[in-house]
Amino acid sequence: MAAPYIHESAVVLGDVHLAPDTSVWPTAVLRGDVERITIGARSNVQDGAVIHADPGKPTVVGEDCVIGHRAIVHGSVLEAGVLVGMGAILLNGVQVGAGSIIGAGAVLTEHTTVPPGSLVLGVPGKVVRAVTQEQQASTLVNAARYVALAQRHRAGELRRQVNNS
């Protein structure tokens, strides 16, 4: 287990709890200034994602979750092994069951409940089918890859480089 990895351009402020092996990537914003944000072990918050909350509506992200690039998670609860696709938006009171996938660009309106193991697509987001075992396994592999990637960044293996050719 390693301490959380927070990229230098990410913003993490207020009441934010990051479990071991979590990672927060470039330009992500976790604002725990209104209510607590909890990110479970081995979960990652990718580039440009925003996590926030409202009074009485904390945001909780379970273990082994993937929050995709530019996603917004606001006052929502995600159980373990959830993937939130790029650009998806989850509004206050959303509850996402374990092993679910929220497709890229989907919008989950306030107080939407997603059963465990569901694939959600569209605007507004609707359950379209059950997630396959392979898809659930892929989310866990993705989470593990980000743990390894954070370790490489922390070790200095991946330094900024500019190719001027």
Alpha helices by DSSP H, the chain: 133-154
State the pLDDT at residue 165.
61
Q: How far apart are CA 45 and CA 147, in angstroms?
A: 11
State the pLDDT at residue 58.
98
Instruction: Report whether 87 contacts 105 (CB < 8 A).
Output: yes
Q: What would the two tokens of residue 115 be?
A: 């059963």
Domains (range + CATH), the chain: 5-154 (2.160.10.10)
* CB contact set of 49 (below 8 Å; sequence gap of 6+): 25, 28, 29, 67, 68, 69, 70, 71, 72, 73
Q: How far apart are CA 64 and CA 139, in angstroms?
A: 8
Instruction: Report whether 56 contacts 92 (CB < 8 A).
Output: no
Query: Three-class SS of residue 20?
Result: coil
State the pLDDT at residue 157.
84
One digit per residue, the tens of pLDDT, for the chain of length 165 reads: 789 999 999 999 999 999 999 999 999 999 999 999 999 999 999 999 999 999 999 999 999 999 999 999 999 999 999 999 999 999 999 999 999 999 999 999 999 999 999 999 999 999 999 999 999 999 999 999 999 999 999 988 877 666 666
Q: How far apart are CA 43 and CA 38, in angstroms?
A: 10
Q: How far apart are CA 58 and CA 39, in angstroms?
A: 11
State the pLDDT at residue 162.
61
Instruction: Report whether 114 contacts 102 (CB < 8 A).
Output: yes
State the pLDDT at residue 161.
63
CA distances 31 to 58, 86, 124, 154, 155, Å, are 11, 19, 25, 23, 27
Percent of the chain clearing pLDDT 90 (strictly above): 92
State the pLDDT at residue 159.
72
Q: How far apart are CA 34 and CA 14, in angstroms?
A: 8
